[in-house]
Amino acid sequence: MDFFLSNLLNGISYGMILFLIAAGMSIVLGIMGITNLAHGSLYMIGAYIGWTIFVQLGMNFWLAVFAGAVVSGIIGLLIERIFLKHLYKQVNEQVLLTYGLVYITTNLVTWIWGGRYRLQFTAPELDMHTVNLGSFSFPLTRIVITIFGILVALILWYLQDKTRIGAIVRAGMDDKEMVQGLGINLELVSMAVFFVASFVAGLAGVIGAQLLSTYPGLGENVLLLTLAVIIVGGIGSIQGALVGGLLIGLIDNFGKALFPQYAMFTIYFAMIIVLLIKPSGLLGRSK
């Protein structure tokens, strides 16, 4: 029972981090039709900025979270302004260009911060604290991560489904010309979407540093996980990213606990099974 419960809670908190990363990429992919493979790198940049501010400069953890998120958001916005806005509806070009950015950011991060693994870090008030659940104790940070994930999910879902901005964004996905014809500045909207997506990725980077340690190859590894989440959950919705993130998080945790010799294998296997049953993902809009 303890085994089940601890893996369940670990899986959920891990899944929440995956959700935070994948939500932005899924929205950008589904709504703006942009495949941004550098999204994992934005996560990594957030993590490194957070590390510098919190560990190196010894400042407040929550300030580090905010700074990581803002820097990632700005870099994401720059990527959209400089490159991706010229490549609307050109999938091959987007894919290749953003993968080039993965190489560039990975190498620059190695250049600036060195190739060493950085230790996992988190807020001092959360560190070492545990919550007792019956016979076993559970680290407080993981619970905070989970609550954080739920909070962000609620905010994003509210923005997407219940507000006028969300309606404009969703309408732009279906009929760009018509939305522009209504006098809405879609360019501004897509900039905002891109910024929020990158912002959340950077935020996840600092929060998630407790679970995934920080190292130069992080961007690409996170990208692989994110793609798995998007494939399983379906493109273009917060709910899809949440379901996908939780599923991948749980599968990964239980997979590692039950069949330790087949680490990554369980994720990709799950991914293939979902794709065979429903190619557009569990909550994806089928064409």
Partner 1 sequence: MSKVILQKFRYSRLVPFLFITLLLVVLPVFMPKNVQGIMTKFLIYAVFAISYDLIFGYTGLVSLGHAAFFGAGGYAVAVLSLHYGTNSFWLGGILAIIVSTLLAVVLGFISLRVTGTYFLLLTFALAQLLYSVAWNIPWFNSEGMQGIARINFPSLGIPGEIWSDATLYYFVLVIAVICYYILRRITKSPFGHALVGIREGEARMTALGYNTWLYKYMGYIIAAPFAGMAGALFAYYSRFISPAQFGLGTSFYPMVMAIIGGTGTLFGPVIGAGVVVFVEYFASLITPERWPLILGIIFVLSIMYLRSGLGVSIYKLWQKVSNSNGNSKS
* From 1, 92, 132, 174, residue interacting with partner 1 (rule: CB under 8 A): 92
Distance CA 79, CA 202 (A): 14
- Residue pointed to by tokens 């080039």: 100
H-only helix segments in the chain: 2-31, 39-51, 61-82, 91-113, 140-162, 164-174, 176-181, 186-207, 218-233, 238-258, 265-277
Distance of CA 89 to the CA centre of its chain: 23
* From 222, 231, 251, 283, residue interacting with partner 1 (rule: CB under 8 A): 231
Distance CA 207, CA 212 (A): 10
232-251 residues near partner 1, rule: CB under 8 A: 235
CB of residue 260 vs partner 1: minimum separation in angstroms? Answer: 10
Q: Which tokens hold the place of 175?
A: 């009929």
Distance of CA 153 to the CA centre of its chain: 12
Q: Which tokens hold the place of 15?
A: 């899944």
* From 59, 112, 133, 272, residue interacting with partner 1 (rule: CB under 8 A): 272
Q: Which is nearer to partner 1, 38 or 64 (CB)?
A: 38
Site string for partner 1, 64-83 (x = CB under 8 A): -------------------x
Largest CA distance in the chain: 62
Q: Does 107 bind partner 1 (CB under 8 A)?
A: yes
Q: Does 29 bind partner 1 (CB under 8 A)?
A: yes
Distance CA 256, CA 269 (A): 13
For the purposes of burial, counting CB atoms within 10 Å of the CB of 128, is it exposed (0-12), middle (13-18) or buried (19 or more)?
Answer: exposed
The DSSP call for residue 120 is P
Q: Identify whether the C-beta of residue 77 lies closer than 8 Å to the C-beta of residue 195.
A: yes
CB of residue 266 vs partner 1: minimum separation in angstroms? Answer: 9
Window contacting partner 1 (CB under 8 A); options: 65-73, 86-94, 160-168, 180-188: 86-94
Site string for partner 1, 184-223 (x = CB under 8 A): ------------------------------------x--x
Q: Which tokens hold the place of 21?
A: 């990363």
Size of the site for partner 1 (CB under 8 A): 45
The DSSP call for residue 53 is I
Q: Which is nearer to partner 1, 158 or 265 (CB)?
A: 265
Q: Which is nearer to partner 1, 128 or 275 (CB)?
A: 275
Q: Which is nearer to partner 1, 117 or 259 (CB)?
A: 259
Please report, for residues 51, 258, 284, the alpha-carbon distance to residue 70 in angstroms, rounded to integers and kept in the order given: 14, 39, 29
Window contacting partner 1 (CB under 8 A); options: 8-16, 101-109, 189-197, 203-211: 101-109
* From 27, 203, 211, 228, residue interacting with partner 1 (rule: CB under 8 A): 228
* From 95, 140, 173, 257, residue interacting with partner 1 (rule: CB under 8 A): 95
Q: Does 88 bind partner 1 (CB under 8 A)?
A: no
Q: Which residues bind partner 1 (CB under 8 A)?
A: 29, 35, 83, 86-87, 91-93, 95-97, 99-108, 110-111, 220, 223-224, 227-228, 230-231, 235, 261-265, 267-269, 271-272, 275-276, 279-280
